[in-house]
Amino acid sequence: MFNTLSGKLFASYLIVILITVLIIGLLFSNVLGDYIINAKAKNLENKALEISQVTETYFSENINPKLYMRFLRAVSRSINSSVIVANKDGRIMAAAFDGVDGITKDISDNMMNMMRYIRIPAVYINKINEGNKVIAIEKMENINQTMITIGVPVQLNNKIFGGIFLYSPIDDITGVLTSMYVVLIIVVILALFLASIISAYLSRLIIRPLKEMSRIAIAMAKGNYKVKVNFESDDEIGRLARSLNYLASESERLEKMRRDFVANVSHELRTPLTAIRGFMEPLIDGTVTDKADIERYHKIIYDETLRMQRLINDLLDLSRLQSGKMAINMHPVILSELIKNVIAKMKPQADNKGIQLIYNCPSNMSPVMADEDRIQQVLMILIDNGIKYTGTGGSVVVAAEEGRDFVTVKVSDTGVGIPAEDLEYIWDRFYKADKARGKDGAGLGLAIAKEIIQLHGGSVGVKSQIGQGSVFQFTIKKAKK
């Protein structure tokens, strides 16, 4: 049972509740015990003061001894305590306890009997003679009982005559505490019973979505990415469920991209291979004899091999970039000159489609720290992208803005634009916004551009609206002066 998470949670809840109840119970019993003892001591002290006043009257006004003893007996019985009246030397003058009472001058035999049991410590007599009270809890060995002892002074003619001592057993307090411990044990048992029910329910409540997520994870491992966790909550488990659902959605999307990529690469390779085979066969069997046709066939075969080479190079570049194995040669680069050179190379391609390729960069730009060849590759990817998806009569503008630490390069086109739902994924490898961006290529160019810029410590971005063109941009660090 305790090898499972639900079992561990169940045991944890029970242990925490048990410890909490025990601590609270013990603290409460100690506090209650102290309160009862203090309350009893205060009550005894009040009774002792009352006896002290009556005793002063008794000795000063010669009250009838029988009335005095009747008073002492009544007080003794009412508070279940022994009452001792002693002089300043500790000699017992009167007493009432356990059915034995008397006054020294009248009942000497009883007083001798009491003296066998009661011994007032000298330290108590000294405190009384100093005008102080006595409050103590002690075990009396001769009667094998723990007693609360209260002592107060008695004055005659403004002089300390002796003291009133009350001895009260704490058996009743012990009985209360014992009863309370029994109640505490019953409460602990009931708390554990209720806690076990609640803990089992809470454990299952927590474990249920985790089991569901485990099932979903196994399904995803088997290639089923359409499964979802049906659990809504704002706590950590809810966030985990949403993360797993997001993982499933992303895995499904990436799996679709992978399949599309394989299909695209297969198509990209099959098309030139089919063309190469189609033009090689007549050359091999000699059916083509015209020199001009032979040269044209050779040119087509050569172009198709270049097309395959570009695709393979793109795949290798992306693999090296993502694995961190591509080395870059960083040095100060005059970005405006690099952009001019790239535009010059791309201009024939733009002219063939009737597209204006416009340079719009300040001439006094600060140099950037970059690998010139790789940044040229990024520019060619973005400009080629703009030309490819801009119609005749449109334009592609390459602009640059200098900031404090970075230079921002923007490539804007007046093409068909990109759907909003595709913008988030446009830089992902293998991704193609087919409806808006055509179906040529394997969808690797923008992914390569992003990896190169990130390798330079910059960032990429895109803004686009359907029918209004797109703006691709990247940032690159300025060279330190």
CA distance 258 to 43: 89
CA distances from 338 to 53, 304, 371 (A): 113, 29, 11
Map out the domains of the chain as residue ranges: 5-175, 236-323, 331-477
The total of other beta-carbon atoms located within 10 Å of residue 186's CB is 10
CATH code linked to domain 331-477: 3.30.565.10
Pairing of strands 395-402, 356-360: parallel
Q: Domain 5-175 classified CATH 3.40.50.300?
A: no
Q: Is the pLDDT of residue 102 over 60?
A: no
pLDDT value at residue 436: 41
With cut-offs at 50, 70 and 90, classify the pLDDT of residue 225: confident
CATH match for 236-323 among 3.40.50.1460, 1.20.1050.10, 3.30.420.10, 1.10.287.130: 1.10.287.130
pLDDT in tens, 293-346: 888 888 888 888 887 887 788 778 777 776 777 778 899 999 999 999 999 999
Query: Which residues are bridge partners to 463 per DSSP?
Result: 471
For the entire predicted model, the pTM comes to: 0.47
371-377-382 Cα angle (round to 5): 130
Which of the four pLDDT bands, split at 50, 70 and 90, describes residue 254?
A: confident
Instruction: Identify the DSSP state of 147.
Output: E
Residue 435 pLDDT: 44
Helix (H) or strand (E) holding 345: helix 335-352
How do strand 469-477 and strand 406-413 relate by DSSP bridges? antiparallel
Looking at residue 105, the DSSP 8-state letter turns out to be T
- Please state whether beta strands 460-465 and 406-413 pair in parallel, antiparallel, or not at all (unpaired): unpaired
| Rg, C-alpha atoms of the chain | 51
